[in-house]
Amino acid sequence: MSATNLSYELHGAGPDVVFLHSFPLDRSMWKGQLVAAGAAGRRAVLIDLTGFGASPLPAGAAPSLDAMAHAVLDTLDAVGAARATLVGLSLGGYVALAVAALAPERVEALVLADTRAAADDPATRAGRMLNLALVRDRGAGALVDKMLPKLLAPDAPEALRAEVRALGAAQSREAVTFALLAMRDRPDRGDVAAALDVPALVLAGSRDEITPPREMRALAASMRRARFEELGGAGHLSSLERPAAFNAALEGFLRAGR
Ligand code: MLT
């Protein structure tokens, strides 16, 4: 289904849980979490962020996290979700915090996985510039190949590595470029995270090198009602690498909020 400009799918019934994917993937990365949302009596809303998956990239749109968050808010309107629990992994977490900045009243609870509230540091910004050139010259597949060693733990199964590679390589140059620019220029959202007065679960793969557990633990400590949990053995894409542990944490959190 599609609303406004984003493509989405709905599963189950109950209070809404909105899943926001990581970079450079799409909503299909969350299919393993449907069981947790269903078991907790929730309706799952899986969204392809701007330009990813089946969502178009509006012509001439200026890249920003706010633009991506506005499109998510339009999708919440389209599915009749006045408030929702947002589950965001990495880029999805940046978008969730951007939604919280724009419309805190729409956020019922928050799950932040393998992400950060801080803006890019200078080294990361410099890396974005290299990645922009790589995507321009060689496409999204070349970028995923470069990122893979940090996206997954070293002992991740070959089949998962291939799945992530295929998912990333299928995204358009334009969408990946848009998101790279949006991430590079995103503001610090530490104040937004600290001000949110809703239940939050902060999850980190114990072997995540992109958003390490110590940073995620500090993020949780800076929030008013957050609990931190480390997922043993997972790298950055913790929901894909350790779905059982991720789902147990997610389901417990969702059930507690009912
Ligand atoms: C992601 O997994 O979404 C990316 O690693 C986010 C980023 O590059 O900052």
Read off the pLDDT of residues 235-245 as tens digits, 9 standing for 90 and up.
999 999 999 99
Binding-site residues, ligand 1, Cβ < 6 A:
22-23, 90-91, 183, 210, 236
Report the nearest atom of ligand 1 relative to the CA of 120.
9
Name the residue of 115, 188, 210 whose CB sits within 8 Å of the most ligand 1 atoms, as the mutation to test its pocket: 210
Q: Is 178 helix (H, G, I), strand (E, B) or coil?
A: helix
Torsion angle defined by CA atoms of residues 169, 171, 172 and 178, in that order, rounded to the nearest 10 degrees: -120
Å from CA of 110 to ligand 1 middle: 18
Å from CA of 196 to ligand 1 middle: 23
- pTM higher than 0.85: yes
Q: What are 15-51's pLDDT values in tens digits? A: 999 999 999 999 999 999 999 999 999 999 999 999 9
Å from CA of 155 to ligand 1 middle: 20
Question: Tokens representing 100?
Answer: 């919280």
Å from CA of 2 to ligand 1 middle: 25
Handedness of CA 82, 83, 87, 90 (dihedral sign): positive
Residue 155 buriedness (CB in 10 A; 0-12 / 13-18 / 19+): exposed
Å from CA of 105 to ligand 1 middle: 26
Q: Is residue 221 pLDDT above 70, yes or no?
A: yes
Q: What are 63-98's pLDDT values in tens digits? A: 999 999 999 999 999 999 999 999 999 999 999 999
Question: Tokens representing 251?
Answer: 């389901």
Question: Tokens representing 172?
Answer: 């358009």
Å from CA of 218 to ligand 1 middle: 19
> Of all residues in the chain, what percent carry a pLDDT higher than 90?
96
Q: What are 152-202's pLDDT values in tens digits? A: 999 999 999 999 999 999 999 999 999 999 999 999 999 999 999 999 999
pLDDT of residue 130: 98
Report the nearest atom of ligand 1 relative to the CA of 128.
8
Strands 2-3 and 16-20: unpaired
Which residue in 84, 89, 113, 119 sits closest to 99, CA to CA? 84
Report the nearest atom of ligand 1 relative to the CA of 91.
3
Q: Is residue 231 pLDDT above 90, yes or no?
A: yes
In whole angstroms, give the CA distance from residue 134 to residue 97: 28
Report the nearest atom of ligand 1 relative to the CA of 180.
8
In whole angstroms, give the CA distance from residue 49 to residue 69: 9
Å from CA of 92 to ligand 1 middle: 9
Strand order in the sheet with 2-3: 2-3, 6-11, 43-47, 16-20, 84-89, 107-113, 200-205, 226-231
Report the nearest atom of ligand 1 relative to the CA of 22.
3
Which residue in 100, 173, 99, 109 sits closest to 135, CA to CA? 173
Are 230 and 204 within 8 A, CB to CB?
Answer: yes
Report the nearest atom of ligand 1 relative to the CA of 150.
5
Type of residue found at 229: E
> What crossing angle do the helices spanning 158-169 and 140-151 adopt, rounded to 10°?
150
Kindly state the helix (H) or strand (E) to which residue 45 belongs, with its residue range.
Answer: strand 43-47
Q: Is 152 helix (H, G, I), strand (E, B) or coil?
A: coil
Are 254 and 85 within 8 A, CB to CB?
Answer: yes
